[in-house]
Amino acid sequence: MRRRIFVAAVLLSLNAAGALGRQQAPAQNTQPALPKIHLLATGGTISNRDGGRLTAEELIKSMPAVERYARAGSEQFANTSSSELTLQQWLDLARRVNTLFADDADLSGIVVTSGTDTLEELAYFLNLTVKSDKPVVVVGSMRNPSEVGYEGAANLLEGFRVAADPQSRNQGVLVVLNDEINAARDVTKTDALRLQTFQSRPYGVLGVVDSDRVVYYRKVIKRHTAASEFDVSKIEALPRVDVVMTYQGASGDIIKAMVDQGAKGIVLATAGAGATSGTQREGVQYAVQKGVVVVTSTRAGSGRIAAPRPRRAAAADASSSDASDAPPRSASLRVSSEDLAPLKARILLMLALTRTSDGAEIQRMFLEY
């Protein structure tokens, strides 16, 4: 009898110990890991506080509750105003983004800080040269960290949220400021001071960043990033491309001077839908005779410039005269920018010239990008 009581007591003790152990065992974490987002800081107003610029690490710390949305890493690429970034730094930055994506399969997206003055140019360059469909988001701020109403931390946090959102894949490079998501191809700075400065002309925003979630309203259909044919991995320098604005009585000598100084391409920001003024037409003729590609865009802010039609009369003249007297290349070297703004047209032309000098092929690129 005593033996039975002893065995029962031992079994009861073991059961109790097992139950206690099960209660004390740590619960397994069934939550998926947060997206890994890397910050590449280049400087700009977002970091330009009085007494010294914020570092990439300090920018990360400035974001409220970023740990709710992403595993944040940071890297100081540069720390200067956007207007002081060089074309060589553009190339280096694109290569760095591509290297980060290639070396870390766990990386979900990249956020780049930039000054707002040339942010749209940097964003579009990355849009054409990043070789991944993972999100790259460019952010900035209109007020610096020492001003009342500094919005940099909020913009940066929203940039991280957009980069971490699965909907942002294959949308090209995105620009996020003031609670809005814009496509790098379309966005432009419209005001020197106001927070709502970045607008996508008549196309509107891609989406918004609200307190509860990221919302997209449309998609980018032009070629970009992973679908781009441009490869900067071995480019040592971008060809010189200049922008010329049309204004009443404009001189074509400026265009000739650019050609003589080594320009390989020229973008004309024409009046209306392609009108030049003064002696600009003579300058354009000089440029194409020298083998320089001339892209026609508009200074109006929006609107499409249709590709030039082949002129039958010119073709007939060329077939009936000596080849040395005809301008066979001039028609092919005149390219339409489609709806790209002059600054964006310059960037596409620079990259196009790293692959070809054929005007018809460059026109194809303007149609597709």
Positions marked catalytic: 45
Q: What residue spans of the chain are helical by DSSP H?
A: 2-24, 56-62, 87-103, 119-129, 152-164, 253-260, 280-289, 312-320, 342-353, 359-368
Q: Which two tokens stand for residue 82?
A: 């956007």
> Under 8 Å CB-to-CB from 197, ≥6 apart: which residues?
116, 142, 177, 178, 189, 190, 191
Rounded CA-CA distance 325/321 in Å is 7
In the chain, the amino acid numbered 251 is: S
User: For 117, which DSSP code?
Assistant: S
Rounded CA-CA distance 339/337 in Å is 6
User: For 226, which DSSP code?
Assistant: G
**Are 231 and 238 in contact, with CB atoms under 8 Å apart?**
no
Strand-by-strand arrangement of the 180-183 sheet: 71-80, 36-43, 107-113, 136-139, 173-177, 180-183, 207-209, 214-216
Among all chains, which residue has been given the structure tokens 């009443």? 248
Rounded CA-CA distance 207/229 in Å is 27
Strand pairing category for 265-270 and 241-245: parallel
